[in-house]
Amino acid sequence: MRRLVLDASVVLKWFTPTDEPGARQARRLRDEYQRGRLEVLAPPLLFLELLNVAGRRWGWSEAALRELSTSLGDLGLSVAEPPLELVASWVGRGLTAYDASYVALAEDRALPLITHDRAILLAAPAVAEALV
């Protein structure tokens, strides 16, 4: 089974109906995950980021956000805290603490990080791979 760290820029595309850049590739990863061929690892903040985007950017109602929160719990993603020292190291290299959490987790577990976030791709080319 393949193992990857996915960040919010990828998992968000699992919930968007539009065909924005990278959506097709993200949904392929989702399908692979649902078939049991992929283990997805993420820091716990992934869920907060997803709720934040759905509520603030997409304007979802409270009821829709509650439903999303249940759906997120039902996904069964593997969740792990990255080592704080590694997060600090990536913040020191210019990433936000949020982005650094994904990179640090991937680095700590020696797994690729799949992202659609250009800042991560530029800061961590040895760890991060582009979604598209």
CA angle (58, 13, 91) in 5-degree steps: 90
pLDDT above 90: residue 16 = no
Question: What's the pLDDT band for 89 if we cut at 50, 70, 90?
Answer: very high
Determine the pLDDT at residue 15: 83
| Structure tokens that stand for 124 in this block | 């961590």
Domains and CATH numbers, the chain: 2-130 (3.40.50.1010)
Task: Give the strands of the sheet with 38-42, arranged side by side.
Answer: 78-79, 38-42, 2-6, 113-115, 128-130
**pLDDT band at 19; cut points 50, 70, 90:** confident
